[in-house]
Structure 1
Amino acid sequence: MWGVQPKVETPPAPGERRVTRGPSEDGGLHPEEAVVPLLLVGLPSSDTADLEAMLAPLGQPVLKATPWNEELMGLLDRDPACLLVDARRDWAAGFEVAHRLEGHERARHIPLLLLGEAACEQVDLIQGLGLEMVDCLFEPIHPGILRAKVGMFIGLHRRERAARLALDRAGRSEVAAHEPERVLRTLLGNLPGMAYRCLNEPGYPMAYVSEGVLPLTGYGPEDFTARRVLWEDLIHPDDAAQVWGDIQAAITTRTSFTLTYRLRTRTGEERWVWERGVAVQGPGSGPPLLEGFITDITAIKCAERERERLLTQVEAERSRLEAILQQLPCGVLVAEAPSGRMLHANAQAEQLLGHSSLGVQSMEEFAHHHAIHPDGRPYTAEEYPMARALATGKAQAGEELLYRQPDGSKRVLHVNAGPILDGQGSPRAVVASFMDITPLKRTEMRQAFLSSAGELLVSTLDYETTLTHVVQQAVPCLGDGCMLDVLEPDGTLRRLAAHHVDPARVPLLHEVARLGVLRIDAPSGPGAAIRTGRIELQLDISDDTLVRYSPNAEILDLLRRLRFTSFLSVPLHARGRTFGALTLLTCHRGARYDQETQSMAEELARRAALALDNACLYHEAQRAVMLRDEFLSVASHELKTPLTPLNLKLSALSRELRPWEGEAWASRFQQHLEMARRQIRKMTTLINALLDISRLSRGGLVMQPEEVDLGEVLREVMDWFASDAVRAGSELRVEGAPRVTGQWDRLRLEQVVTNLLSNAIRYGAGRPIHVRTELEGERVRLVVRDQGIGIAPEAQARLFDKFGKFESAVPERHSGGLGLGLYITHNIVEAMGGHIRVESRPGEGSTFTVELPRSAAADAPGAA
């Protein structure tokens, strides 16, 4: 079958025995030729060699065993044709073996031949012959008879086996005949749908319907085969015509048909079904039959509709996201993880980078971008933030990246990169956003420059050095070159400072100014800006422009060597006065001074003008202070001149009144004299203060140290203020060592004690005043404590300033004098190498502490 040629066998040779192979249980032999084993059971004392020799001509294997061991049980499973029990030596034992074998499940249906001795009891013989399927042979045993009996058993065994095989084959044939039907029923019963056969007529009357129709439609097979229900009645009206047309078209073209349509079930539910069928010729010459399969695809249709809905939604979301990404003011790149293949790049990204990134297929190709390090080295692929986010799975945020665009310009990009993770936390993609912050960085740099320049301009009054540094810092922040020209009192211009990105051109800038180009009457440039007070701006300077404004060939050559293409001159205005002009240069074509640059240049010029104005004001103030000090010195000497004879005259008058001390008029006159002397002392103190101020302004006080007893000075000063203390209601109390000596200026030391005691009496509120001297090693401490109104904490910090005068430390009614006493005291103490401090609380009084070294401080300020 299927092209295999039948095998032609050669006829057997004379005398040759043909063994026919067939479907048997014995290695393929026919039952008539099958090998049948014989089982010889001998007693333990039996010798069965003669029996084996007798059976050998039968050509069948002889199996041997002794009764009731594992070997015998195993040999019974080989289905022997006959059991031979050797009972020739013990007839009773042989009968016992035969009985037990007949009762055994495996040996019950096997013929048994009992071989015994001739002297056999009749009872035993009857008992043996009474066993089923048992025969007996007595000695002497004839070999032919033995072989004949055994051969009969072999033949019976073979015929029985053949019968069993025939029955088995018949059973298998019957099963095989019904197998297709069983398989078909099983398949149809397990299909997720229904199989059918119907007539190709309107209504589609069914000849056969499988059981799957019930769960599909709610009707059983008998409803359709009995034509109580027609299939066409279940088809949705909108689909019926299409179904009929597709079936007829398939019949015409002799092809199978595949349909998808809707059904209405018994419960009114609408379901989608998928049908595959074919037309077959019916019996006789009748109409063709339709055979096919129908299954429920409602879930698939619902899934398709849901999929279409989701796809529509995803597409809408994708379109919305695309629109958002395209409208973002920053570039966005999306790359696949872990390959780095670029999936998306918005238009802003291509504009910022200067090229498309969608061609990038791997992370290694990131190196094709043009990011550079500050030293000019290009980024490697692994250094980009997007590549690091791909490699580590971690966000890379807030990085600033220097990028060289295809036109050679450099931009600063602010980059953020981060992974997009799936449900398991693994990166699926990485997204990077970046924006151009070059204007912001430029503004920051310029603001930092303005801040630094402002601090520099107010840090010192040496305006020439300061403005030189400012001009240097303006390059290249504001331009390729910068110059500052000042207007001299005689109306000429002087180039104070100049700087350029190319140091070789700085001397050229000074040389141009020296050769006379810098003039107040110049038609353009710094001179025009100073003269008119307006900004001078010149763009796209050509060689013709240089020729027109150059007075001679030497200057023209210098201007050409400078190679500047535009300039901006801003006048320096302050308080209605023009001090000069600040000029910026550019040396590349196409450069423009935007509004921000002009505003910064104007602000820098304003600050430079203020610095110049402040310097002028400072010098004028210094001259005024010098004139004031000279006036104070002269006036003080002139004022002190009449005070000395006046004081002598008052002393003489006091002596003249002594003879009339008891007279009332003399006592009143003496009081008037005392008042006059106090006013003279006060005037002397004020004049000395003015003199000290002038001395301090000119460089400090001159000390004349000598051996002085602080206790003695303290007692003298207290005697002077005894009457003042009595009038104020305060008691002066002296504590500490009576004699404390050191190397000090006596007059200056008296001045310190005087100022401290006068303040204590004035602000002591009529309470006791404590004065204490302390000696501690090589230092002396003088403490003056009152219990008066005290000093506010915020006023203590400026108490020793010039004209401090307790002006915010005490109420106005307590103030008096010039406010110079503590300022001069502070300077005197420091000049003698000591220091003074105050401790005070409002309403609790004040404590002034002066510490002085006992030896003269040769390196103290103002010491001589």
Structure 2
Amino acid sequence: MWGTHRESQPPPALASRPDGTGAVAEETACPLLLVGEQVEDLAGLEELLAPLEHPVHKAVPWSEDLGELLDASPACLIVDARRSWTVGIETARRLLAHPGARYIPVLFLGGHSCGEADLLRGYAVGTVDCILEPLSPDILRLKVGMYLEQHRRQALMREALERAGQAEAAARESERMLRTLLGNVPGMVYRSTTEEPWALSYASQATLVLSGYTPEDFTQRRVTWGELIHPEDAPRVREEMQEALATRSPFTLTYRIRTRTGEERWVWERGVALLGPDEEARALEGFIFDITPFRQAQQERERLHEQLEFEHQRLQSILQQLPVAVHIAEAPSGRTLNFNAQAESILGHPMLPCTCVKDYSQYHAIHPDGRRLAAEEYPIARVLATGKPHPQQELLYDRPDGSVRVLLINAGPIFDARGRLQTVVASFMDITALKRAETHHTFLASVSETLASSLDYEATLAHVVQRAVPDLGDGCALDMVEPDGSLRRLAVAHVDPVRREISQELARHCPPRLEDTTGPGAVIRTGRTELVAEVTEELLVRYASDARHLELLRGTGVTSSLIVPLHARDRTFGALAFFYCRGGQPRASRHYGREEQRLAEDLARRAALAVDNARLYREAQRAVRLRDEFLSVASHELKTPLTPLNLNLSALSREVSRSCSGAGHPEALQRHVDMARRQLWKLSTLLNALFDVSRIAQGRLTLEVTDTDLGEVLGEVAAWFSPEAARVGSKLWVEGEPHVPGRWDRLRLEQVVTNLLSNAIRYGAGRPIHARVEARGDRARLVIRDEGIGISPEALERIFGKFERAVSDRHYGGLGLGLYITRSIVEAMGGTIRVDSRPGQGSTFTVELPRRQE
């Protein structure tokens, strides 16, 4: 038999169960191996062994299949040596040398001639038994059956030994695993008494790491576990332990201990009571773990949680106090995480539950044409889709109360430390009032520009009425007072052409009158604004004069009205009416209020001032025309007696020279005559200026263009003014080219030179005056320069105006028309005139004229 130690090797013939347990299945019969020299001999033996009902394998010596047959672990080797004992002995020896036949019994079958020596040689090989001829089938079967039973028992014994070895190995492995487990448990394993102070009878090696005491310190009662428990936790531990023992249930405890070094640690204990046969607790077993890091982490987590809660409350407080609305959504789902009360106040309804981007379609943002925004068009959805900030955007929002608000919205992403999109924050504010004020300001500025663009106030007011829609309402109408006291509907505008026709038909069917108790007539009569915030059916019935009138009023669809007077200079001469109608433009309010009233009254004041200014301008224009006509007639009539008076003075001057040559005071008489002639010349010059101004204003300044020499004109006029310049102490210098021919009106050219030289002599302060003419290609230039008092910069802009002067008329006289007439003449001839001057350094007037007139 082989041994049972783990190091022993079992015989290779051990059969195995299909389930791998190593046991021999009862239904599996062990084979018998027949080896002989002739196959026919083996067939006879097979018949003899058939009653045993065991499989029989046959082989001739040294066949190739013999090794495989031995691997099948036959229960018995039957060697047929009846033909040759020697061959049988050799066959048995070689079979037994095979590893698979080492423990298989061998039965020799010999002939009747076998002697004792042959039998001894067979037993020496290892033969178990021999049967000689004549063969008895019963004996053969008996002996083979015995070997079969022996093989079965050996198999059972091997199986039992193997199971015992496996059980022993499993026990040793369990012990090893337990030692490994207890040695590697992060906490200590213990067994203790059931009573306080819970002395330990067993403690694992982890006890040293946990408490600072060795397992021997506890098992030898140098210290007990109860002594380590924190005094503040001991009553609770005692109570919970007693309750667990009373209920025979496992216990779980969390408490503090003080280690050998005095360090305080948190531990977690899980244990159970071991019960005896009498169901009484004999001992406690369990685990104790050091949870100090976990407890510290838990405390830190609680601290962070409190801090987070504080930050959350602070964030909530900040969100609720912000003057703008805030909406925070989760990424990437779009689920609403937070919002403030301002958001609900601006939207006009509670925040809607949104779990995904598609839910944004529940909101009521609209396009300018009234279409609802799709869910993906909202700024938050765009940021969720792109991860990029959304630029500031204005949105229209249709509130449940029917008003449309203008919202200014910003949306931006918030990323985590890894750059992943976490949330999206949108902030928005209601800028309806701001946009309304901006729109109103722009509207008023535009209307003011329109009112100032034309003096035809009827056409201008009609245009204003068109501009008022839809800024101030869905409809607008203007009624003006006629000279006979009746009212005339001057203009009507409406967003709906059909309702515009209805409004006009309403004005024709029942025109407003000054004696009306309401409407445009009452507003014009009283000068007070009429505001109806809500036009009801009852009001329409009360206002209607007949059935047709009521039908037309209903057809207008008016829901609110505002009528303001056109009032200026204590006079009301018209009324502007504004209307909101059903189905009109989306807007912040469908009813007129104080803000719209102020805007409409401001518009009415501007329109009234424009109308009043247009009327004043017409009156002023009429007065100017009358003045110009008077000046034209007066200057013409005054010039009639001046001509003969001038001739008489010339004749008188000659007569004085001839008749008074011997008298005592001819020089004095001549001075008086010369003085009279100069005054007559001044008067003639003033009348000519007034006459020219009248013709310029009436557009009747005509030119008679002929070939003219500008140099000659300057020479002649300078000769006329030389005595006058000498009289005031100025030297008149004529420079430049003597001849500059061109085509001009000679008399008007003389007038230009005369006015400029006269101006230089008057303001030249007795200093030299320079006059120069030069040709510049197809243009001629005239320059008159004095060194007199000069002109201030602010006066340079206005000296060419009508009746404008740069100095006081008390010191220099004149009407302020010379430069105005000069510029008009120069521009009529296609030229330009400019002046360069500084106070105290004189003035230089430069005239440039084309030498050929078009």
Structure 2 length-normalised TM: 0.76
Q: CA deviation at 1:367?
A: 4.0
Contact 1:257 1:278 in 2 (8 A): yes
Q: Which residue of 2 aligns with 1:536?
A: 530
> d(CA) in 1 for partners of 2:204 and 2:726?
137
> Aligned AA for 2:492?
A
Q: CA deviation at 1:606?
A: 0.9
Counting only pairs closer than 5 Å after superposition, residues 58-137 of structure 1 correspond to structure 2 as 58=94
Q: Which residue of 2 aligns with 1:219?
A: 213
Q: CA deviation at 1:779?
A: 2.7
Contact 1:579 1:612 in 2 (8 A): no
Q: Which residue of 2 aligns with 1:455?
A: 449
Which shifted more, 367-376 or 210-219? Answer: 367-376
> d(CA) in 1 for partners of 2:30 and 2:483?
150
Q: CA deviation at 1:523?
A: 1.8
Q: Which residue of 1 aligns with 2:377?
A: 383
Q: CA deviation at 1:691?
A: 1.3
User: Does residue 1:519 correspond to 2:513, yes or no?
Assistant: yes
Contact 2:352 2:362 in 1 (8 A): no
> For residues 492-515 of structure 1, what are the alpha-carbon distances to aligned partners after superposition, in whole Å with 9 as ceiling and x for unaligned?
322222222222343444454455
Contact 1:421 1:427 in 2 (8 A): yes
Distance 1:208 1:675, change over 3 A: same
Distance 1:225 1:177, change over 3 A: same
Q: Which residue of 2 aligns with 1:262?
A: 256
Counting only pairs closer than 5 Å after superposition, residues 682-761 of structure 1 correspond to structure 2 as 682-761=682-761
User: Does residue 1:824 correspond to 2:818, yes or no?
Assistant: no
> d(CA) in 1 for partners of 2:548 and 2:167?
127
> d(CA) in 1 for partners of 2:544 and 2:272?
104
Distance 1:188 1:798, change over 3 A: same
> d(CA) in 1 for partners of 2:479 and 2:410?
47
> For residues 540-566 of structure 1, what are the alpha-carbon distances to aligned partners after superposition, in whole Å with 9 as ceiling and x for unaligned?
445665555555565555444434344
Contact 2:559 2:591 in 1 (8 A): no
Q: Which residue of 1 aligns with 2:50?
A: none
Q: Which residue of 2 aligns with 1:487?
A: 481
* SS of the residue 1:465 aligns to: helix
> Aligned AA for 2:850?
P
Contact 2:532 2:592 in 1 (8 A): no
Q: CA RMSD in A?
A: 4.1
Q: CA deviation at 1:663?
A: 7.9
> Aligned AA for 2:803?
F
> d(CA) in 2 for partners of 1:341 and 1:61?
85
Q: Which residue of 2 aligns with 1:769?
A: 769
Q: Which residue of 2 aligns with 1:579?
A: 573
* SS of the residue 1:227 aligns to: coil
> d(CA) in 2 for partners of 1:409 and 1:536?
23
> d(CA) in 1 for partners of 2:407 and 2:851?
69
> d(CA) in 2 for partners of 1:514 and 1:456?
28
Contact 2:523 2:564 in 1 (8 A): yes
Q: CA deviation at 1:754?
A: 0.7
* SS of the residue 1:758 aligns to: helix
User: Does residue 1:852 correspond to 2:849, yes or no?
Assistant: yes
Q: CA deviation at 1:797?
A: 2.6
Distance 1:387 1:580, change over 3 A: same
Contact 2:194 2:282 in 1 (8 A): yes
Contact 1:725 1:732 in 2 (8 A): yes
User: Does residue 1:655 correspond to 2:650, yes or no?
Assistant: no
Distance 1:591 1:185, change over 3 A: closer
> Aligned AA for 2:745?
D
> d(CA) in 1 for partners of 2:182 and 2:538?
102
Distance 1:557 1:196, change over 3 A: closer
> d(CA) in 2 for partners of 1:620 and 1:435?
52
Contact 1:762 1:814 in 2 (8 A): no
Q: CA deviation at 1:715?
A: 1.8
* SS of the residue 1:671 aligns to: helix
Which shifted more, 359-368 or 673-682? Answer: 359-368
Q: CA deviation at 1:594?
A: 0.5
Q: Which residue of 1 aligns with 2:149?
A: none
> d(CA) in 2 for partners of 1:609 and 1:206?
109
Aligned residues: 730
Q: Which residue of 2 aligns with 1:618?
A: 617
* SS of the residue 2:558 aligns to: coil
Q: Which residue of 2 aligns with 1:469?
A: 463
Contact 1:475 1:482 in 2 (8 A): yes
Distance 1:550 1:250, change over 3 A: closer
Which shifted more, 593-602 or 476-485? Answer: 476-485
Match of 2:500 among 495, 506, 509: 506
Q: Which residue of 1 aligns with 2:59?
A: none
> For residues 48-74 of structure 1, what are the alpha-carbon distances to aligned partners after superposition, in whole Å with 9 as ceiling and x for unaligned?
xxxxxx999656999xxxxxxxxxxxx
> For residues 700-743 of structure 1, what are the alpha-carbon distances to aligned partners after superposition, in whole Å with 9 as ceiling and x for unaligned?
41222233332222122112211121133322222233233333
Q: Which residue of 1 aligns with 2:266?
A: 272
> d(CA) in 2 for partners of 1:524 and 1:338?
61
> d(CA) in 1 for partners of 2:541 and 2:276?
112
> d(CA) in 1 for partners of 2:170 and 2:579?
108
* SS of the residue 2:447 aligns to: helix
Counting only pairs closer than 5 Å after superposition, residues 194-593 of structure 1 correspond to structure 2 as 194-281=188-275, 288-326=282-320, 328-350=322-344, 359-405=353-399, 409-514=403-508, 517-538=511-532, 540-541=534-535, 545-546=539-540, 548-550=542-544, 555-588=549-582, 591-593=590-592
Q: CA deviation at 1:520?
A: 1.6
* SS of the residue 1:288 aligns to: strand
Contact 2:403 2:590 in 1 (8 A): no
Contact 1:805 1:822 in 2 (8 A): no
Q: Which residue of 1 aligns with 2:638?
A: 639
Contact 1:199 1:289 in 2 (8 A): yes
Q: CA deviation at 1:593?
A: 1.9
> d(CA) in 1 for partners of 2:495 and 2:279?
108
Q: CA deviation at 1:415?
A: 1.7
Distance 1:395 1:740, change over 3 A: same
Counting only pairs closer than 5 Å after superposition, residues 42-57 of structure 1 correspond to structure 2 as none
Q: Which residue of 2 aligns with 1:117?
A: none
> Aligned AA for 1:318?
H
Q: CA deviation at 1:471?
A: 1.0
Q: CA deviation at 1:312?
A: 2.8
Q: CA deviation at 1:173?
A: 11
Q: Is there any run of 5+ residues in structure 1 with no aligned partner, and where?
A: 19-26, 34-53, 63-144, 150-168, 858-864
Q: CA deviation at 1:668?
A: 3.5
> d(CA) in 2 for partners of 1:175 and 1:568?
107
Contact 2:520 2:577 in 1 (8 A): yes
> Aligned AA for 2:235?
A
> For residues 743-789 of structure 1, what are the alpha-carbon distances to aligned partners after superposition, in whole Å with 9 as ceiling and x for unaligned?
32222111100111112222333333222222234432222222333
> d(CA) in 2 for partners of 1:566 and 1:740?
77
> Aligned AA for 1:449?
F
* SS of the residue 1:457 aligns to: helix
> d(CA) in 2 for partners of 1:710 and 1:208?
139
> d(CA) in 2 for partners of 1:509 and 1:175?
111
> d(CA) in 2 for partners of 1:732 and 1:665?
32
Q: Which residue of 2 aligns with 1:789?
A: 789
Q: Which residue of 1 aligns with 2:60?
A: none
Distance 1:766 1:594, change over 3 A: same
Q: Is there any run of 5+ residues in structure 2 with no aligned partner, and where?
A: 1-16, 36-53, 55-67, 75-89, 99-120, 126-162, 584-588
Distance 1:432 1:496, change over 3 A: same
> d(CA) in 2 for partners of 1:274 and 1:566?
78
